[in-house]
Amino acid sequence: MPDVVLELNTVNELASLTGFSITNIRSGLDACGIDVLFEIDGRPAGAQHTTYHWDEGATAGKRGSPARAKEQKISRNVTPYPMSVNPHYRAALRRCVDKKIEKAAAYDNRDLETWLVISACLGRWGSLGSTMMVPDMLGAEDLNELCHAQLAASKFERAYLLLHINRIVWGWDRLKRWRLLADPDAAGRREHRERMSDLIFNRIPADFRARTKRP
């Protein structure tokens, strides 16, 4: 079932993080295969929205995401729960993009600028693990190799990948291809990595040597 609240909130978040002049955000038209309608710089536009799950479509003949179903089931206990995560996003993201390209091909929206908007890393109880995508594993070169050609041949004018927890936005269009558009927490994550690296490789070994040094 479509998550209308997530669809609308995602386009609002996209506007907030990128500074795009997006207005009049509202639910789309099923007859046009559009989830969200809006205006961008005064022009009519619409978006197909989808949520990334790292195992969706991985098993032939099976629809949906088993990881999502499992996570939602065990999360009903309202207690902390373990959840496996697959950091290798390429196959799942490619399936996600290909599925939406196929859907867009079935509709004639030539008078409407059409976007593909993908949500990942949802900050929602019951969706934390199955939608997880590791920010540091993403890169423009890899994303372009993965799906630039497919998107360039599709009906989409633009595509966006939002990592909600991290407030990261990757954007694509035919001219500029995939590139990073927003990552306001990048400096904080880099500082955290540097502190942890110093702790693991310098401070802990130094403390161990000091404690075990013979008089």
Taking alpha carbons only, the member of 118, 122, 117 closest to residue 68 is: 122
pTM of the full predicted structure?
0.81
Q: Is pLDDT at 94 greater than 80 in this prediction?
A: yes
Q: Which residues of 7-31 are buried (b: 16+ CB within 10 A; e: fewer)?
A: bbebbebbbebeebebeebeebeee
CB 182 within 8 Å of CB 138: no
Locate 187 and state its tokens.
């400096």
How much is the pLDDT for 203? Answer: 67
Where in the chain are the domains? 4-184, 185-215
101: confidence class by pLDDT, cuts 50, 70, 90:
very high
Taking alpha carbons only, the member of 143, 159, 57, 145 closest to residue 101 is: 159
Q: Tell me the residue length of the chain.
A: 215
